Amino acid sequence: MDLQELTQRMHSFVQSKGWYALDSVKPQTPKNLAVSLVLEANEVLELFQWADELDDQDELASELADVMLFLIQLANVSQIDLEAAVLSKLDENYDRTW
């Protein structure tokens, strides 16, 4: 499955929950999605709190999936071609001095 298919699956899921509706309790605005993205990323970090080793690989996979889903949705509602943005950033980074 490619990024475009994942985006469509995310779109279908959000639509099935009614979150695109104007009166939704979970409005899909860039701000709300950015907040949710950061909260989910913090849940990834929390898995490593007080430990150098990860106890549950499945839990990490689940949290990383949450991060990716919010990232895809944020890009989607912001009309960002995430694939093009990633490729552009990689090209830019090749030219950077680290």
The CATH number linked to 49 is: 1.10.287.1080
| pLDDT at 45 (0 to 100) | 95
In 15-27, which positions are buried (b, 16+ CB within 10 angstroms) versus exposed (e)? Answer: eeeeeeeeeeeee
pLDDT tens digits, residue range 18-76? Answer: 999 999 999 999 999 999 999 999 999 999 999 989 989 999 999 999 999 999 999 99
pTM, entire model: 0.90
| pLDDT at 80 (0 to 100) | 97
Domain contains 74: yes
Domain contains 42: yes
**How far is it between the farthest Cα atoms of the chain?**
48
| pLDDT at 98 (0 to 100) | 80
Domain contains 62: yes
Q: How many domains does the chain have?
A: 1
- Amino acid, res. 82: L
Domain contains 3: no
Domain contains 7: no
Which residues are CB-contacts of 27 (< 8 A; sequence separation ≥ 6)? 19
Domain contains 39: yes
CA distances from 61 to 17, 41, 94 (A): 23, 12, 29
| pLDDT at 55 (0 to 100) | 86
Domain contains 83: yes
The domain of 59 spans 22-94
User: Whole-angstrom Cα distance, residue 49 to residue 31?
Assistant: 27
Domain contains 60: yes
Residue 89 in tokens: 């950033």
Question: Of 90, 88, 75, nearest to 33 (Cα)?
Answer: 75
